[in-house]
Each structure stands twice: as structure tokens, then as C-alpha cells.
Chains A and B, each alone.
Chain A
Amino acid sequence: MSNLLIKGASATAWGPERVNALRELWGRRLVLGVPYLWLLLFFLVPFLIVVKISFSSAEIAIPPYSSVVEYFDEVLTFTVNLGNYLFLADDEMYLQAYLTSIRLALVATFFCLLLGYPMAYAMAQAPGRKQSFLLMLVLLPSWTSFLIRIYAWMGILKNNGLLNNLLMWCGIIDQPLQILNTNIAVYIGIVYAYLPFMVLPIYANLTQLDKSLLEAANDLGCRPWETFFRVTLPLSMGGIVAGCMLVFIPAVGEYVIPELLGGPESLMIGKVLWQEFFNNRDWPLASALAMIMLLILCLPIAFFNRQQVKQLEASLS
């Protein structure tokens, strides 16, 4: 943009060059302006409103909260209610819910990586014409309905479900195992639903790997597993980070999986927020819950964004 201005300034008066440069500048502003304004209005501003409402108090009204800013009789009053945050800090249940969410998401992300990395590796190793087919196979489930795929596990995991019937038929267990409505079911659900988001960035990263480095390691006498741990794995760190963030961050705020597969022990924060909002109609408390969740997640989100920017920058140069 700056060199456009310089170009415009160097031309004397209103030469055609300057008119063109100005037109291009304003054209660009116009083009960029539409998505920019959309995101500002519908992505950034809503967060500021959540902040505002988290400082109000719940009321039986429409909308069900008090106003923070009031102008009456030439007096501008700000009523900042810290009650919601104090309430959250006071009640053990909310702290537990945050810790449970982070723990469940971390463990599930770990298992996702454990299964996803070898899958991505095998895909990247496959011959070229098979790769696109394998990629489609991995991604296809995520194009069907998320809700229905979680629902499928309800039928498999429940007490008289398919898994228990199979295990009993084989004689491995005498009585059905309680799997549905436990944390194990939540782990299975998260790994199942988010696996493609783990495989995709790692696969994309591994296909860009410079094969000559592996050959060099091989020629210099590296054992295959050594080559893998000392060359391939460190080089694919970008994909691993992106994949883990794509699984971990949404999993922390997951609502559907703990609701359908989890039990009383898997009280995740997304579910708590949902209940405060829809069942108790306490919008300010739900906003405070969302703000704290966002505070916890802003570090990983910033990390993810930086990774994205870095990738973008690398491809630009």
C-alpha cells in the first residue's frame, strides 16, 4: 500500500498513473472492507458484548439481564456487577467443570495423536494415486452428520449394546460393562469425531517433507526408527501442533459429546454453560463462564493463529 502512495506522489498532479493507483487502492479497500466489516461486526463485537453482559446481573425480564450502562437525568451510570465471577470462584462445581474439560480434552487429544500420526504417515507413504483416495476416505465421515456419528456410539456402547453383547458372547465378560455415560465413552467420542482434524494437518505436513533429508540420514547410517525420531518427527512438528490445537480447543468447549455419551462424572464446561443458559436462563452467568473459558483458551488459540500466520508467511516467500 505504501509503495502505491509513493508511486502516486511521484507522478505530477493528476496523471493517469496516479488515478489508476488511487483507483486500485480504493478498489482494494472496498474488496477487503466487506469481509473485514462482517468479521468485525459478527465475530469481534459479540465478544465485547459477552464481556459487558458478564458484568450485569440476572433479572426476570426480556432480555433477562440488567443494563450495565444507563443514562438518566444527565447522569451516566455504570453498574458493574462482579457477582457472577465471584459466584463462579466460590462454587467448587464450576472449577471442577473447567478442570474436567481440560483433562478430558488433553487425554482425548493425546489418543487422537497416537492414532492419527501413524495414519497420516501411512497415507503420506502411499503411492500418489492412492493418496487422494485415502484422504477422501479419512475425511468422508466428517462430511456426514457429527450428531449422527456420536449417536452411533450410543447404540454400540450401551449396557445391552453391541460391544457388550459381543464381549459376552465371546465369553470375555460375564456381565455388561458400564461404558456409556462414563468418561471412557467421552474419550471415544472425541477421538472418533475429531480424528480427521488430527490426520489432515499432519498428512499435509508430511507430504511436504523433503525426502532427500531421509535419504541423507539413511546414507549416514541412521537406523529407520532413529531417522524417524530425529528427522521426520521434529520436521512434522508444525503439523502436530496444528492438529492438536484443532482437536484440543473445540474439545474443551464440547457440548454434544458429554451430553450424549458422558455421565455425571464427565461434567464439562460446555454442558454447564448450556444448562445455565437454557435451563436456568441465567445469561450473565453463562457469559462469565464463556469469558473464563475464552481466557483459558486464548493462549492455545493465539498459538494456533501464529502457526497459521507462519505457514502463510512461509508460503508467501
Chain B
Amino acid sequence: MILSTETGTERTNAPGRIKMPGFSTIMLILGLIFLYLPMFILVLYSFNASRLVTVWAGFSTQWYVELFQDEQLMGAVWISLRIAFYTASMAVILGTVSAFALDRFGKFRGRTAFNSMLTAPLVMPDVITGLSLLLLFVTMADLVGWPMERGMLTIWIAHVTFSTAYVAVVVGARLREVDRSIEEAAMDLGATPLRTFFLITIPTIAPSLAAGWLLAFTLSLDDLVIASFVSGPGSTTLPMVVFSSVRLGISPKINAMATLIILVVSLAALFGWWFMRRSERERRASLERFGTS
């Protein structure tokens, strides 16, 4: 009982607990180096004056200049950002509703089937998802004349379908944690389920909605395989452009773009972590205030 109140660092010094944490801590450090070293090298060589990755020829920002002058690449960035924005917004709606239904509706007919359809996209190989959706779009165009041509809309549908699963997982985890008594109180006081959902549930799970939105956004921005299957002329996304360039070999321009992506993601992640820590601290402080008064 006493052990559980101690902090982790003290716990590692407790008798009989030295060996395992020591080994696992080393593995954690090695694992993090393994994860970050390639990205660090990528960033480093984006400032290389030479085109060759192996030779360091001095500091230069010419690849960034070339990156922004590449109209095809910049056009693809814009297309990808728009698809990602609409994907994330729709996936948050569908994912939240799905997670809410699974968590709060108790047992309903077709629950297992619904849950399976919701979680299967998490592990489904991309080539299968991409091929099956393309065949659906072709068949639908044949039968009902829609979609006439494939492009941003079909990519959007495909991306919403698989990112909904991720949003449902993130939001579902949060939904299971929240205190339901406030919702019940609102309903007892005469609020309709719909009103309760928008006035009580949504604000309580808001951080997870934001996390789900960002996750869906990055997933959509990152997808190459599914988009390759369901895209059409004029809707080449960023990963498709990067892939065709990477296939030909190393290009410092891609390093420059990678650096920018890593920079944006790191800043967003650090901000998110700081924000969450702050709100957690505030929550704890207010709890303590209630405890002492």
C-alpha cells in the first residue's frame, strides 16, 4: 500500500525492482533514438548544399526555395489540405455518433455487426480498401450514373470511411471515462436527449473531438495507397507526387518538405501536450481547493 503512493523514481529503487526497469529504460531510450535519428538526418540534409545525401557541402536553403517554386507540388499540397480538412470534419461527426451509440445505447440489434464494421478499417490493408472502394465507385457509376468522374469527392468518401474508425476509438475512450451523472441530471430536469448531448456531452468530450479531428486530418494527409486507387485526373494528392518523385531516388526537395512537416507536427504536438497538462493541473488544483474548504 505504501509503495503505490511513492513516485516512479523511488519505486525503481525499491528492493527487488531494480533489474527490469533498468533494462526497459535502456530499451525505451534506444527505441526513441531509433524513431528520431532517421528524422533528424532527414532534417539535417535538407540544409545540404549538395544534391548528394552522402556528401556534406555546406549550409544552404536552396531546396526550400525550389520547393516553393515547384507548382505541381504546391498544387498537390493545396488539394491534400482541402481533402484532409473535409475528411476530418465529417469523420468527427460520424465517429462521435458511432462511439456515442456504442457506449450509450446499450444492446441493440446489429450492435456486433456495427462494431465490427467500425473497427475493421483500423487493420484492413490499404490495397484492399482502395481496390474495393474503386470497384464500388465504378459499379455505382454504371448503375446510377454517380460518381461521373473520380476525384476529390471520391477520395473524401474513402478517407472518411477509414478515419471514422480512428475517431470512434479516440472519442469512445473518452466517453467511457466521463461522469454520466451530469447527463442524467440534465435529463431528469427535462432536457431532451438531443439537448443533453449538445449542451453536456459535447463540451465534456471536446478535447477528444479535437484529438480525433487532428488524427483524421493527419491520416488523410498521409494516405497514398487508397487515394491512388480512387483518384482521377486533376486530383493528384501530395503523397502521390512525393511517391512518384521518391521512386526515382533521393531528392533534397523532399527532405525540405519533410522538415516543414516535422516542424509543424512537432509544434502542434508540443502545444497540445502543454495545453492538456495545463488543464489537468487546473482540474487538480480546483479539486484540491474543494477538498480544503
Interface positions of A (Cβ within 8 A of B): 1, 24, 27-28, 31-32, 34-36, 38-47, 49-50, 53, 63, 115-116, 118-119, 121-123, 125-130, 132-134, 136-141, 143-149, 151-156, 158, 160-162, 165, 192, 195, 199, 211-212, 215, 218, 223-225, 228, 245-246, 249-250, 252-256, 259-260, 270, 273-274, 277-278, 283, 286-287, 290, 293-294, 297, 300-301, 304-305, 308-309, 312, 315-316
Residues of chain B lying within 8 A (CB to CB) of residue A28: 101, 105, 108
Task: Tell me if A155 and B41 are in contact (CB < 8 A).
Answer: yes
Closest partner residue, chain B, to A286 (CB atom) = B131
Q: 29 A–B contact pairs at CB < 8 A?
A: A28-B105, A35-B94, A39-B118, A50-B135, A115-B27, A118-B24, A127-B9, A128-B7, A129-B277, A133-B273, A141-B36, A144-B258, A144-B265, A145-B242, A152-B38, A152-B39, A154-B250, A155-B250, A158-B250, A162-B41, A224-B16, A256-B224, A278-B228, A293-B128, A300-B123, A305-B115, A305-B119, A305-B120, A315-B176
Given the interface contacts A24-B193, A35-B98, A290-B131, does A145 sit within 8 Å of B269 by beta carbon?
no
Task: Tell me if A253 and B125 are in contact (CB < 8 A).
Answer: yes
Q: Chain A's nearest CB lies how many Å from the CB of B235?
A: 16
**Which of these binds chain A: B64-72, B136-144, B201-209, B285-293?**
B136-144
9 further A-B pairs in the complex, CB-CB below 8 A; given A215-B4, A287-B135? A31-B97, A35-B94, A43-B120, A119-B27, A147-B242, A151-B246, A153-B38, A270-B127, A304-B122
How many Å lie between the Cα of A297 and that of B272 in the bound state?
36
How many Å lie between the Cα of A34 and that of B250 in the bound state?
45
Task: Tell me if B261 and A134 are in contact (CB < 8 A).
Answer: no
**A-B complex: 10 closest residue pairs judged by Cβ atoms:** A253-B125, A118-B27, A46-B132, A122-B28, A127-B8, A122-B24, A152-B38, A249-B123, A118-B24, A46-B136
Interface residues of B in 218-236 (CB under 8 A from A): 218, 221-222, 224-225, 228-229
Task: Provide the main secondary structure of the chain B interface.
Answer: helix
B81 in the interface (beta carbon within 8 A): no
Interface residues of B in 90-137 (CB under 8 A from A): 94-95, 97-98, 100-103, 105-110, 112, 114-128, 131-133, 135-136
B262 in the interface (beta carbon within 8 A): yes
Residues of chain A lying within 8 A (CB to CB) of residue B105: 1, 28, 32
Q: Chain B's nearest CB lies how many Å from the CB of A118?
A: 3
Task: Tell me if B125 and A144 are in contact (CB < 8 A).
Answer: no
B194 in the interface (beta carbon within 8 A): yes
Most chain A CB within 10 A, of B9, B20, B254, is at B20
B157 in the interface (beta carbon within 8 A): yes
Q: Chain A's nearest CB lies how many Å from the CB of B130?
A: 9
How many Å lie between the Cα of A274 and that of B224 in the bound state?
12
B61 in the interface (beta carbon within 8 A): no
- Pick the contact of B135 from A49, A270, A274 — CB < 8 Å? A49
How many Å lie between the Cα of A116 and that of B27 in the bound state?
8
Residues of chain A lying within 8 A (CB to CB) of residue B128: 50, 253, 290, 293-294
Residues of chain A lying within 8 A (CB to CB) of residue B25: 122, 125
The tally of residues in B whose CB lies under 8 Å from a CB in A reads 108
Closest partner residue, chain B, to A40 (CB atom) = B117
Q: Chain A's nearest CB lies how many Å from the CB of B127?
A: 5
B161 in the interface (beta carbon within 8 A): yes
- Pick the contact of B17 from A27, A139, A224, A316 — CB < 8 Å? A224
Q: Chain A's nearest CB lies how many Å from the CB of B230?
A: 11
Task: Tell me if A293 and B125 are in contact (CB < 8 A).
Answer: yes
Residues of chain B lying within 8 A (CB to CB) of residue A45: 136
